[in-house]
């Protein structure tokens, strides 16, 4: 009940944030622009709309998670409202989880709105909606949930600007971790190779949530792979939140 109350309050605060509407506006414009781009480009219009549309949902969803998530905890500390909240019978982990689920609810609403715009544009061209599109968008949402947990983790001990930089770096590393795998294969030193392998194991692989290429080119996506991607997102998000709660519990606000 306490977590739900904090989550709903966070959702109400986030919905009023002008940054959220600004990002959503640009996302909507980008989605509509994909329609114009498809008309001006030689090629399969449906593939172009699908590719640009899914990329826009993922990119702008990430911006929302970073811009709002990195300031959730810091805002309470900066305004000293954290003392009022923690003086009540609320555990710190409940406060953090409430903030997380509140932002997740906000992202869910924004993703649903962008998805409606995206699917309407596709429906105009194809007069049908492929069920796998919902699976791919669901995986994008799970990726955003992971990004949100990382943003909250950094916000427990850093300023919004630094937290945004760290979270953005996490996002970029997660999508280019394949480069580290290539580097491991070329390293000769056993110590450096082992260190790189440990680092590769700990760092996220956000490409586990990226199936835009498969959906655009109508390639098969095994059900087992999709299930593992969902489980990967749940486990990694839970791990990051656990670390965030540990740091937040140990922090002294005085």
Q: What residue segments make up the domains of the chain, in order of their start?
A: 2-250
- Compute the average pLDDT of residues 102-115: 88
Instruction: Judge residue 108's burial from the number of C-beta atoms within 10 Å of its C-beta, 0-12 exposed, 13-18 middle, 19 or more buried.
Output: middle
- Top pLDDT among 134 and 73 is at 134
| Residue 203 contacts residue 128 (beta carbons within 8 Å) | no
- Taking 60 as the threshold, does the pLDDT of residue 4 lie above it? yes
At residue 185, φ and ψ (nearest 5 deg) are -65, -20
User: Can you tell me the mean pLDDT for 3-18?
Assistant: 80
Report the pLDDT averaged over residues 202-210: 83
How far apart, in whole angstroms, are the C-alpha atoms of residue 64 and residue 103? 9
Residues 91-110 have a mean pLDDT of 88
pLDDT given at position 144: 92
pLDDT surpassing 90 at residue 147: yes
Whether pTM > 0.75 for this model: the answer is yes
Q: Tell me which DSSP letter residue 159 carries.
A: -
Gap between the Cα atoms of 210 and 72, Å rounded: 27
> Which distant-in-sequence residues (6+ apart) come within 8 Å of 177 by Cβ?
200, 203, 204, 205, 206, 207
Q: What is the pLDDT of residues 31-51, one digit of tens each?
A: 777 767 666 665 567 787 888
Among positive and negative, which fits the CA dihedral 126, 138, 3, 77?
negative
């Amino acid at each position: 009940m306490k977590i739900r109350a904090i989550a709903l309050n966070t959702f109400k605060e986030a919905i009023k944030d002008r940054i959220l509407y600004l990002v959503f506006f640009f996302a909507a414009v980008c989605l509509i622009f994909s329609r114009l781009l498809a008309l001006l480009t030689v090629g399969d219009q449906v593939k172009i709309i699908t590719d640009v549309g899914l990329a826009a949902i993922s990119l702008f969803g990430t911006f929302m998670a970073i811009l709002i998530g990195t300031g959730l905890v810091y805002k309470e500390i900066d305004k000293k409202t954290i003392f009022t909240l923690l003086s009540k019978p609320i555990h710190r982990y409940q406060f953090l989880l409430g903030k997380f689920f509140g932002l997740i609810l906000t992202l869910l609403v924004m993703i649903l709105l962008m998805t409606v715009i995206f699917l309407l544009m596709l429906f105009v061209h194809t007069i049908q909606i492929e069920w796998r599109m919902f699976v791919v968008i669901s995986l994008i949402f799970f990726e955003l949930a992971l990004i949100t947990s990382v943003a909250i983790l950094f916000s427990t001990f850093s300023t919004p600007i630094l937290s945004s930089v760290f979270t953005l770096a996490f996002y970029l590393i997660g999508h280019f971790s394949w480069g580290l795998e290539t580097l491991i294969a070329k390293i000769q030193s056993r110590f450096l190779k082992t260190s790189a392998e440990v680092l590769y194991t700990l760092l996220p692989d956000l490409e586990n949530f990226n199936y835009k290429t498969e959906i655009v080119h109508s390639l098969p996506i095994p059900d087992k792979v999709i299930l593992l991607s969902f489980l990967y997102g749940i486990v990694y998000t839970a791990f990051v939140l656990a670390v965030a709660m540990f740091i937040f519990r140990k922090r002294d606000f005085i």
